[in-house]
Amino acid sequence: MKLDSSTLSLVLVGKFSPGDFSIESFVKTHSIGDEDAAQARYEAFVRDQVCDIRFHWGKFAVVDQKLVIEVNEAPYIRASDLALKCLRELSQGAVVRQMGINYQAFFAANSEERDAVGRRLVPPKNWGMWGNQVAESLNFGISDPRHGGMTAAALRQGKPDDRPAGHIDARVEPANRDSVWGVLVSINDHYEMPKGRDGKLVPDRTATGTLLDALEEAFDKSVARSIEIARQIMEAT
């Protein structure tokens, strides 16, 4: 199976001021270049509620509790750089409590290849008598409504050593993109600040500083790791 497309999404969860962000403020702080600014367009803009900007390389969107930067072409580091620029220069009152560095890869695959992935990751025989029925149903053609199989498989790595709290999730599922069938692999590399020993949230400033430092230091490693996870999941088929 061949990699067809991939996307990197950086998702920050906390408290944000959408009114701090605009194409104009990005230009003023040199967060984007003139060419990017000229090509940028607003998908949605309601002062203090929502700012959703589309660039030729992806998008920036923010509401009061979530900031998302999606990058669809290399280099993915654009997401990290723009987020750091936004929160360290443009909107210093922002609070970050959770962070996801999310990689998604779509592999074009025919029905036999998709079923092979399903059989390997979620063997029907491990599901008892009913699983055997599902295994038998794989013999029906893909257009036959009786054809069953894996709808999704997910695996979580509990708190990795490189963060105060969080996890890495991988999810594999059949998907269709622009009428092309395939297998979608989604990696969610999740970071968050745990509560203090007293059970209370750590101060905003501490949480934000810790997670932005983690973003700066871990971004490239996270992307490389996620690409490798996706590659190895698919390579075994």
Partner 1 sequence: MTGTALRAFREENPSALAAIPAVPSSATVTESSLSGEQTAAVPDLANWSSSAGDLSVNMAAVSRIAAASITDIESPKNQVVAEWHGMVTELLESNFVAELQGILGVGVRGAIEEAVIPIDEVREEDRGLLEPGAFFRLCVNNAIRSDGKTRRRFTDVVFRRLPAYRRDELEEAAERGRAIARAIRVE
What does the alpha-carbon distance between residue 132 and residue 74 come to, in Å, rounded to a whole number? 44
**Taking CB under 8 A as the rule, does residue 27 contact partner 1?**
no
Helix, strand, coil % over all residues of the chain, rounded to 5 = 35, 35, 30
> How many chain residues touch partner 1 (CB under 8 A)?
71
What does the alpha-carbon distance between residue 149 and residue 135 come to, in Å, rounded to a whole number? 7
DSSP 8-state assignment for residue 171 = E
- Residues numbered 137-176 forming contacts with partner 1, rule: CB under 8 A: 175
| 67 within 8 A of 53, measured Cβ to Cβ | no
Dihedral angle of Cα 168, 172, 175, 178, to the nearest 10 degrees: 50
Interface stretch with partner 1, choices 2-10, 136-144, 158-166, 192-200 (CB under 8 A): 2-10
- Least Å from the CB of residue 3 to partner 1: 5
**Taking CB under 8 A as the rule, does residue 24 contact partner 1?**
no
- Residues numbered 62-101 forming contacts with partner 1, rule: CB under 8 A: 62-63, 65-66, 68, 70, 72-78, 81-82, 84-85, 87-89, 92, 100
Q: Which is nearer to partner 1, 59 or 147 (CB)?
A: 59
**Taking CB under 8 A as the rule, does residue 15 contact partner 1?**
no
